[in-house]
Structure 1
Amino acid sequence: MGRLTLSFLVFLLLRWFVASAWYEALAVSFSAYTFVVFVYQIGQRIVILECISAIASLEILAVPAITYWLFPGSMPIESSTYFSYALPAYTAFYVGIGGLSGRDSETLHRQYIQYVIDYLQARQSVAVWLFVIGLGGFFLKALLPEVPAFLGALPMYCLLVSTLYAYYSTNAYWMLLVGLVISLLLINTVQTGMFGDLFFWLLFLLIFWTISLSEPITIRAKTMLVSLAFTLLLIIQSIKGEYRYNTWGSSRFDRTANAGLMAELLIDRFAHPGKLLNTRHFVASFGRFNQGIMIGSAMAKVPVHEAYANGEVLLSLVYPLVPRLLWPGKPQTGGYENIRRFTTLAQFENTSINLSPVGEGYVNFGYGGVLFAYLYGWLLRGGFQVVFSLADKMPSIILWLPMLYIGCLTMETDLLSTWGSLVNSALFIGFLSWSMKCIGVQL
C-alpha cells in the first residue's frame, strides 16, 4: 500500500506542480512504482523479473516523459500520440510478466536457496569444473571474436555461475574464485569496450547475495546499494564513449584493448567528480535509455510510409530453434534491418540501436502490439516458472537464472535477441548438464 501511495503522490506532484499532462505524470508515477517494488523485494526474492520490469519502465515511460518536458523537439512524435501506445503497451507487459499478480510468498525463494545449499554440499567440485569451462570460453572468445556463442560467450558465462556454485557450496576457495572471475570480467570489459556484462553480472551477484543473508537486508542498506549501482552506471556512461572512440575501429570486430586509457579515465572521474555530477551528464546518461525515440520514430513511419509487418516478428520465435550449421544465412538479430525499414534513424555497423519488443509489436500489429507486449512479458515469466518447477528435482538450476536472463534485462534489443538468448542458454545448459553427467559430475 505504501508503494501505491508513493506513486500516487508522484502523480499529483507532477500533475499540479510540474504541470505535466496526465498521461506523462501517470507514466512517471508508474515507473516509480515498479522501481520501488524492485528495491523493496531485494533480499526477499530473486528479483530478476522485477528488475526487468523496472528497467523497461525507465526506458519506455520515465525517460521519454522527462525528455518531452525538457527537450520535446528531440522526440519524433507528439507526447499524446506516443503515450497512447507506450503506456498501455508497458502496462500489458507488466501484467504479463506478473507485476500485478500475487507473488509467491517471500519465504519461498529463500527456501529454495536453502535447498541449493544443502544440494551442493556434496558437489563442491562443480564450481571448479564450471570455472575451467568458463575460462576456456573466455580465451576462445578473446582469440576468436567471431566464434559462435555456443563455443565462446555461453561457456564464458559459466565463470559467473561458478561463483554462485562456489559460494553456496561453501567451497573453501570461493573468495579466491570470485576474485578471479571479477578480474576476468574486468579484462573482458577492457578488451571489448562493452560494459553491459560487467554491470548486469555484478547486479545478478548482488541479487543472489542479498537473498542468501540470514536476516533480510534493511531499507537503508538497500538504498546504499542502489545508490552505488547508479553511481557505477554514471561512471560507465561517462567513460564508455571516450574509451570506445579511442579503441574501436570501423567494424564491430575491430577493437583494441587499452587498460592504461581505462585507468586514466577512471582516475580522472574520481579526481573531478564534477564531470559526473552535473545536469549535462545526467541528461546524456539517461537519454541513452530513451526507447521512446526508436518507438516514436517507428510510429511516425508506420503505417503512413511503411506497411505493418503483419506478424513477421513471430518468425523470431522459430529462428533460435534452427542450428546455424543447418542454416548459414540465419538472421543474426533484427535490429539493423528493423531500424532501416521501420524508422528514419541512422544505423551504423559499429553501433547498435533497436526497436525493442514493444516497438516490434507496434510495427507488426499497430495497437495490437499491446497484446503482443503482454505475451512477451508472459513468455519471460513462463521461463522463470519453468526453472522453479525443475528446481524441485535439481535445486541448483536456480543458479543458472542469470545466464538465462542476461539477454533479456533491457528493452534496448529485439525479440530475436532476447528469445534467442533465452533458448540458446537453455539448450547450452541442457547440453552441459548431460555432458557432465556422462563423466560422473552432477550439476
Structure 2
Amino acid sequence: MKKFFTFVEDTFNENVIIGLKTNKKKIINDPVFGFITLQSEFIYDLVEHPFLQRLRRIKQLGLSNIVFPGVNHTRFEHAIGAVHLMGMAISSLKMKDVDISDDEAEAVTAAILLHDIGHGPFSHALEHSLVEGISHESLSLMLMEEMNRQFGGRLDMAIQIFKNEYPKKFLHQLVASQLDIDRLDYLRRDSFFSGVTEGTIGSDRIIKMLNVRNDGLVVEYKGIYSIEKFLISRRLMYWQVYLHKTVLSAEQMLVKVLRRAKELMMNGVEVFATPALKVFLQHKITSHCFDQAQFVDGKSLLDLFVELDDSDLILAMKQWRHHDDQILAYLAGAVINRKLFRIKIKSSAFSTETISGLKEQIMRRWAITEDEVHYFLISDSISNYGYISGSDKINILMKDGSVKEINDASDVNISSLLQTVRKYFVCYPKELDVK
C-alpha cells in the first residue's frame, strides 16, 4: 500500500509542476437529495481515496435486497448523502450565529464522510465475523488515522471530532448521537430504496430547526413534531426493514456460512477464497491483532481488510456450493439461491423442549453431530428501541429559552419509545416442515 500511495502523491506533485488544474468542486446527482455539490477540494480528494471508493462495493443494508429488490444502494451513496446534509446543517447553524470556522466545517464534513469506512462486506451482517471483538467504528478510526498519515495531518481535527475530543462538543453530536446526520441520511435513503414509506422523515426541517445551547445541539420547539416523527420512523424501519424476519434469517445464515468456511480452513481443509479473504478465514483475527499491527505476507491486516468487499463473499459462496463439505455447500447454496431457513419470532424465549426436538430432527436428517447442529438451528434474540434517555439526549429549545429533553417537552406520550423491545427467534431448514 505504501508504494501505491507514493505513486499517487508523486502524480499530484507532477500535476502542480506542469501547471495542470483539476476542477474538484464536483456535482453529484443523488436520487434522494438531487444535485449534491462538493465545495471543498480536500473533501473531493477524500472521496477519490481508495478507502472511500471501496464503499461502492459494500451494500448499505447487507442482504436486505432479498426482501426489498430495490435495496441495492451502497455505503458510498450514504456517505455522499451525509456530506450533503452536513453542509445544510453547517449553513443553518451559521445563519443562527453559531461559531463554526471554515476549518471546523471542513473537518466535521470529513468526519461524517469517513464515519463508515470501517464497514466490512455486507455491512452490519458480518460485523463481528471476520474480525472478532472490534466494531466498524473502531476500524473506521484506524483507517482515518492511516489516511491522516497519508494526507500529512489534514485529518487531525476531523479525528478529534470523531473521537469526541474536540472542544466544541456539538460538532461530534452532528456526527454521532441520537439525532445525527448519519441517521438523518440513512432513514431517508433506506426508506426511499426499500419503498417503506413509514421511514420517511423531514430531514430538511429537522436540520433547519437545529441550534446550539451550552455547547450542545438542540432542536427549536417548532421542530418538535418532526423529531417525534423521526423517532417513530426509526423504530418502524427497524422492525419493517433492518430486522425484517426474512432478512434476519438470510443474514444469520450468512454468518454461519462464513463460520463453517473458517472452521474448515483453520483445520487445514482447502476452501476457495480470494487472497485477502483467505487470511481472515485461516486465522483468528481479533482487535489485538490490529493493535499489534500484525502483517501477513508483507501486508498489514488493515491493508488486507480494505481489500475485502461484498464481491469477495459472493464469489466465494458461488464456489462453496460445490464443496465436498455438505454443511458448507448446503448453506452457501441456500444463501445464493434464496433457499432460506424458516424463521419464527415471538416475544418469549422458545422452550427447551422445542429446541431439543428440532435438534434431533436435524441430526437425523443430515447425519451430523451435535457439535454441528448450530449450523442448521439458530436460536437467539433481537432488540429495538426508539430512544434512550441519558447523557446523549435529544434536547428541545423551548419558546421561553429553556431546554428540555424530548420526552419531557413532547405532549405526546413517547414512553413506549424509551422501552427496549426484545423478541426471540429460531431459524431452521424448511425441509423439516415443522408446524
Of structures 1 and 2, the one scoring higher in RCO (CA 8 A, sep 6+) is 1
Q: Could you say which structure has the larger radius of gyration?
A: 2
Classify the TM-score, shorter chain: under 0.3
Higher helix share goes to which structure? Answer: 1
Higher strand share goes to which structure? Answer: 2
Question: What is the TM-score normalised by the length of structure 2?
Answer: 0.24
